[in-house]
Amino acid sequence: MTRAASPTGPAELLATWEAGLAQHDWERSLLLHRAARPGAGTDELLSMPVGGREADLYALRRALFGERMQVRVECASCGEAMEFELDASALGARAARAAGAEGASGAGALGAEALGARAAGAEAPGAGVRTASGGALRVEEGEWVVEFRLPTVADLAAAAAVADPADPARARRALLARCTVSAVRGGQAVAPERLGELLPRQVEQRLAEAAEEADPVADVTLDVACPECGEATPAELDITSYLWAELDNWARDLLLDVHLLATAYGWSEPEILALSPLRRRYYLELCADA
């Protein structure tokens, strides 16, 4: 598999930003992932486990904007604004280890020493979760036996494509059907398409726990303790949204720099983008002093 790498320059990043302005979140994820792996094809990117994509996006974020990630959350109980830092290196390294691990058993949720906060869902799934043939996960609960594989990027994209605000569970049912290898209830096979209506909530929860254990960075949720009231607020860390917001701010600032330098010196956009950030800054300072 192609190793993740950062884009070659600001022109490529601007093209990624421009292409994603009118796109949905999952399409932006693909654009950012392609920027992280410029040598990878679309099929390769879509076939990766979600945790593998997250590892690449953390690496891209670290290469572009550094290791420290500022996060702001409002307490769900008292409304107090809470700010804290996360380490993109620790998150990316944990994601890479999880993505490269063999088999279905993982190391659980991210540790407090890496995050500066307790990660939710750290408990390991109970008995009845096994590794089936082909690396699929096998969950046994009551009369149900379900074998499923971890969701890929393509699975999430397909589920997002059928999402319906009037039917919030539709995307979840689509994802469940795509990832189910086989399902048996009381010795009788059940079609994956029917699991959304037949599968008990308890069994579905076991599937989610097993998937989280096997791919712990596919969905990172932190329990952040409020310094004012002491209550914990769950905060989901969506690296795609976080990275896209940073890229959007960077692109708009850079275009403003291009405008100022083009106005002052008559240079073209490619000529300005070819300058190093340090030289652009010095030229901007000269413009301000003129």
- Spell out a b/e string for 134-163, using b for 16 or more CB atoms within 10 Å of the CB, else e: eebbbbbbeebbbbbbbbbbbbbebbbeee
Q: Which residue reads 């769950």 in tokens?
A: 234
| pLDDT for the residue 97 | 65
Q: Indicate if 79 and 39 belong to the same structural domain.
A: yes
User: Same domain for 102 and 68?
Assistant: yes
Same domain, yes or no: 184 and 228: no
Condensed to tens digits (0 to 9), the pLDDT of residues 34-52 reads: 999 998 999 999 999 998 8
Q: Is residue 255 part of a domain?
A: no
Q: Is residue 274 part of a domain?
A: no
Q: Are residues 110 and 226 in the same domain?
A: yes
* Residue 122: band (very low, low, confident or very high) from pLDDT cuts 50, 70, 90: very low
Q: Please say whether the beta carbons of 160 and 171 come within 8 A.
A: yes
At 219, the pLDDT band (50, 70, 90 cuts) reads confident
Eight-state DSSP code of residue 273: H
Residue 264 lies in a domain: no
pLDDT of residue 100: 59
Do 101 and 239 lie in one domain? The reply is yes
Regarding whether 173 and 87 lie in a shared domain, the answer is no
Instruction: Please tell me the predicted confidence (pLDDT) of residue 228.
Output: 86
How distant is the alpha carbon of residue 34 from its chain centre?
A: 14
Q: Is the pLDDT of residue 272 over 50?
A: yes
Same domain for 113 and 31:
yes
Q: Considering the domain boundaries, does residue 146 fall inside one?
A: yes
pLDDT confidence of residue 111: 27
Most confident of 68-72, 81-85, 264-268: 264-268
Q: Is 73 contained in some domain? A: yes
C-alpha 218: how far from chain center? 6
**Residue pair 151/175 in contact by the 8 Å Cβ criterion:** yes
Grade residue 109 by pLDDT with cuts at 50, 70 and 90: very low
Q: Which residue has the higher pLDDT, 14 or 109?
A: 14
Q: How far apart are CA 252 and CA 80, in angstroms?
A: 30
Whether residue 281 lies inside any domain: the answer is no
- What average pLDDT does range 218-223 have in this prediction? 76
**pLDDT at residue 180 in the model:** 95
Could you tell me if 19 and 136 lie in one domain?
A: no
pLDDT band at 261 (very low <50, low <70, confident <90, very high): very high
In angstroms, the CA 288 to CA 210 distance is 58
- 174 in any annotated domain: yes
User: What's the domain count of the chain?
Assistant: 2
Name residues whose C-beta falls within 8 Å of residue 197's C-beta, 6 or more positions apart in sequence.
173
- pLDDT for 8: 64
Same domain, 193 and 222: no
- Contact between 126 and 210 under an 8 Å Cβ cutoff? The reply is no
Residue 124: left if φ>0, alpha if ψ -120 to 50, beta else—which one?
beta
Do 70 and 108 belong together in one domain? yes
Residues 43 and 184 in one domain: no
Residue 55 lies in a domain: yes
* Residue span of the structural domain in which 26 resides: 10-123+217-247
Give dist(CA 277, CA 102) in Å, integer. Answer: 42
Average pLDDT score over residue span 195-207: 92
- pLDDT confidence of 114, banded at 50, 70, 90? very low
How would residue 7 be classed by pLDDT, with cut points 50, 70 and 90? Answer: low
Average pLDDT, rounded, for the chain: 83
Between residues 209 and 131, the one the model is more confident about: 209
Read off the pLDDT band of 98 (50, 70, 90): low
For a pLDDT cut of 90, what percent of the chain falls above it?
52
Residues 114 and 173 in one domain: no
Q: What is the mean pLDDT of residues 190-205?
A: 93
Extended strands (E) in the chain: 68-74, 81-87, 118-119, 129-131, 137-141, 144-148, 180-185, 188-189, 220-225, 232-237
Q: Are strands 137-141 and 144-148 parallel, antiparallel or unpaired?
A: antiparallel
Q: Could you say which DSSP state residue 152 is in? A: B
